[in-house]
Amino acid sequence: MFPQAVFAPVGQVTGPIGWTDPVPVNDVYLFDLDALVPSPKGQMDLDFARYLSAFARKRACYILSNTSITDMMTRVPASVRAACAGLFAAGGTELWVGEDLFVQHEHEFSDDLYEFMVKVVQKSAYPEKQAPMLESGSASLRLCIAGSQATLRQMKDYAAWEEEHFELATITHEFKARFPDHDVYRDTDTSLMIVPRTFSSALVVSHLLKRHKNARLIGYVTPQAAGSYANPLCDAFGSADVLSTIKGPGDVSQLLSYEFRRLTQQEAAVNERADELVEA
């Protein structure tokens, strides 16, 4: 039995209470990586990977992550990456298609901002902090006091410490006051993501619609992403699009089972019409 999905609909939701007609041909799917691989240091379940790959070969699918493309490649099997139409890395600031960097937003963070982040790291009261603690992208910057290469245990230890000391909340408050031309998000329990105001994850929607004209977007995101860096993206979904807030691969499997069923219905209807034309 799969876990019960939690839906946050825009327009309609997918699944058993969704549309009754066959799935439209021009649907484009966007998956939050943390919904596919809940552990930040884990890898995708192989059975689930085969299931997702089969679906991605029938419909245009993209994966979105707050982390780097290197991290995505370690968590997502090559078969899934090959089947998907693209990967949005570093909070959507990069779009990778196959092995190629297709879109890259660029921003030069100021020396003042970097100096502030270095002081933040130095002032941290966490006793087990490990370098490197800053992960820099072309238009994103992530801070992880436990260390960007920390093990799952080390990340859990910091998360427990953070619950008592509220260090990330203090850093967020100070950063917003100092750099109002940037956005800072609590993208995980142990990290912060910083992007310039010139970039918004809503641009992911723009990229998708440029690549797939008149498409309906169907997004599956975790509550953490929807409440942080992916919030602008979620707000950019149109009234005809579909947005579901889910917790893990079990929810995705359950939802995709309905999508597969409708794909089968659609293919059967197309074949039936083709047979009728031949007979006529």
Q: Are strands 100-104 and 94-97 parallel, antiparallel or unpaired?
A: antiparallel
Q: Are strands 182-188 and 191-196 parallel, antiparallel or unpaired?
A: antiparallel
Q: How far apart are CA 127 and CA 130, in angstroms?
A: 9
CB 43 within 8 A of CB 75: yes
CB 36 within 8 A of CB 249: yes
pLDDT score, position 6:
37
Q: Is 83 left (phi over 0), alpha (psi -120 to 50) or beta?
A: alpha
pLDDT score, position 268:
60
Q: How far apart are CA 233 and CA 64, in angstroms?
A: 11
Give the pair of three-digit tokens for residue 30: 């966007």
- Partners of 143 in the β-ladder: 134, 192
CB 234 within 8 A of CB 185: no
In the block, residue with structure tokens 């707050």: 66
Helix (H) or strand (E) holding 276: helix 249-279
CB 187 within 8 A of CB 228: yes
pLDDT score, position 16:
40
Cβ-Cβ contacts under 8 Å for 108 (sequence gap 6 or more): none
* pLDDT tens-place values along the chain, 280 residues long: 333 333 344 333 344 434 445 445 689 999 999 999 999 889 999 999 999 999 999 899 999 999 999 999 999 999 999 999 999 999 999 999 999 999 999 999 999 999 999 999 999 999 999 989 999 999 999 999 999 899 999 999 999 999 999 999 999 999 999 999 999 999 999 999 999 999 999 999 999 999 999 999 999 999 999 999 999 999 999 999 999 998 888 888 888 888 878 777 766 655 555 455 555 5
Q: How far apart are CA 89 and CA 65, in angstroms?
A: 5
**What is the number of H-type helices and E-type strands within the chain?**
11, 11
pLDDT score, position 15:
44
Q: How far apart are CA 63 and CA 120, in angstroms?
A: 31
Helix axes 167-178, 111-123, angle to 10 degrees: 160
Buried b (16+ CB within 10 A) or exposed e, 51-80: bbbebbeebbbbbbbbbbbebbeebbbebb
pLDDT score, position 273:
59
Helix axes 249-279, 46-56, angle to 10 degrees: 30
